[in-house]
Amino acid sequence: MKFGFAENIDDAIETYICTPETFENLMAEMGEEVKNWCKLHFFSGNSAQALLCSQTNKRPIALLGCGSINSRKSGRFFLAAAAKKLPAGCYKIVNEIPLQNPKLEVLGWLMSQYKFTKFKGQSKNSAVKLIKPDNLDTEWIEAVLAGEVLARDLINTPANHLGPSELEKAAEELSAEFDAKLEVVSGDELLDKNFPMIHAVGVASANTPRLIDLKIGSSGPKLTLVGKGVCFDTGGLNIKPGNSMGIMKKDMGGAANVLALARAIMGIGINIQLRVLIPAVENSIAGDAFRPGDILNSRKGLSVEINNTDAEGRLVLADALSYASEDDPDLIISMATLTGAARVALGADIAPFYAGADSDAVALSKASGPAMDPVWRMPFWDPYDKLIEPQIADLDNAPSGGFAGSITAALFLRRFVNNPKKYIHFDIYSWQQNSSALGPKGGITQGPRAILMALDKLLSY
C-alpha cells in the first residue's frame, strides 16, 4: 500500500475540523441541518470524534473533533485520532486547522494509515485518504512520512527476510534515490580494516556482518548518524528466554531510525554533510560465537571484557563511533534499541537521550513538544564511570549489580567518541506495544522528528 497524500479528486469529501471552542461558530456557518445532525449524534468537537453529515440536495461532509485545548496536555496527534474513525474514502480539509501545529497533525493523519501488508494476501482498501491541504509545507510532511514508513517497514520485517545483507540493500536503495555514496565493509574485511568488535559479534551468523557507510553532501556542517543494526538478537551464548526473544527482529531499530532521519533530511534538502554508519550483524549462536569472559580489542584500542554476550549492541556501536570520530564531525548522534533499563526508567513511549552539551539537550527538549516526539534527557553521570572498568581489561560490556543500566551503556559508548561534547545518544524502544492513533502494533520511530526540528540549533557551532 502506498502511503501519502491522495490525488486531488472532485468527489473528495469536504472535511471540517473543530474543537469544542470553535464548534458553535462552525455550526452557525454550516446551518440548521448539519447542526441538528450533530446534535442527533452527540458531536460537539470533543477529542477523537468523527461524523459524516448527510445534507439534503448536497453531498455529505465530514466533521472531525480534536478536543478542548485544556484536554490536549495529555496527548498528541488529535487529528489522527479523529481521522482513524472515518470510513474509508478520500477527504479534503476545507477550513483552517484549529490546532497548535497543523503540519504535524496532518503528518499524524498520514502516519495513522500505515499498515504492514508485505506478507498478507490482497487486502481490501480501507484507507482514509487525505488531499494535500492548502498553506502547509507538504514537501516537509512527505519527506518525514517517507522516513517513517521506511523505518516501520524495516522494523516490522522478520529476521528471515531482513538480515545484514537486506539492511545493506535498504541503504543502497536510499543512496540510489538521492545519488549518495555508499561503501560497505563486510566479513573478514572487517578484521583487515580494524573493526574487530563488529566482526566478533556477527561472525557466528550465516548472514555476514558488515559496516554500512552512506555519505551525501559536500558543504555545510558535518552530521554523522550511527545506528545499531542488530538484525536479530538471540542474546548469544547468554541466550535470551523465549519471551524476551519474541520481538528481537526490532533490535535493528536504531539503524531504521537513522535511515528514517537521513531520508527526511535528504528529502527536505537540508544543506549539510550527512553520514550514516550502520554496523549490521546478527547475534547468533555457533562454534565461533564470542563468549562470556572473552576480551575483545576495539578499533579505538581499548580492550573490552565480555561479561554478557547479550550486551552486544554497544560493542558494534563502539567500533562505528570510533570510526565516526576519525572524520571529526560537528555532531555524532547514535540511536539504538540498547537497554531494557531505559524502558524501566521511562516506559515504551518516551525516548531517553544523553547529550554532552547542555545546549543540545535544551534544543532537543524544546523541539520534542512541537515535533510530537517525546524525548527526555538522562545524565552522563561521571561517578558511574568506575562501574564500566573491570579488573583485567579497559572496559566491561555488562557491569554487575543491575543498577543504572542505560546510563552505564551510554558511558561505555561515550568512551569511543573523541569529543564527548559533540555526542548525543538515544536509547530507544522503537516499538508500539498496542495499536494507537498512529497505526498498528509494531515498529515506529522515536527521536528523528525531535532531532530534525532541533537540527539548526544542534549544528550551530
DSSP 139: H
CA angle, 460 as apex, 458 and 461 as ends, to 5°? 105
Q: What is d(CA 367, CA 375) in angstroms, rounded to the nearest whole number? A: 9
Distance from C-alpha of 66 to C-alpha of 45, rounded to nearest angstrom: 6
The rounded distance, in Å, linking the Cα atoms of 30 and 32 is 7
Verify whether residue 449 is a known catalytic residue: no
Active-site residue (options: 314, 343, 415, 449): 314
Tell me which DSSP letter residue 269 carries.
T
Contact 398, 308 (CB under 8 A): yes
What DSSP letter does each residue of 94-129 carry, written as one string? Answer: -S---SS-HHHHHHHHHHHT----TTS-------EE
Assign residue 222 a region (left: φ > 0; alpha: ψ between -120 and 50; beta: otherwise).
Answer: beta
Active-site residue (options: 240, 366, 377, 457): 240
240 given a catalytic annotation? yes
User: Could you identify the residue written with the cell 526508567?
Assistant: 345
Alpha-carbon gap, residue 375 to 420, rounded angstroms:
20
d(CA 128, CA 91) in angstroms, rounded, equals: 7
280, 162 in Cβ contact below 8 A? no
Q: Could you give the residue numbers annotated as active site? A: 240, 314
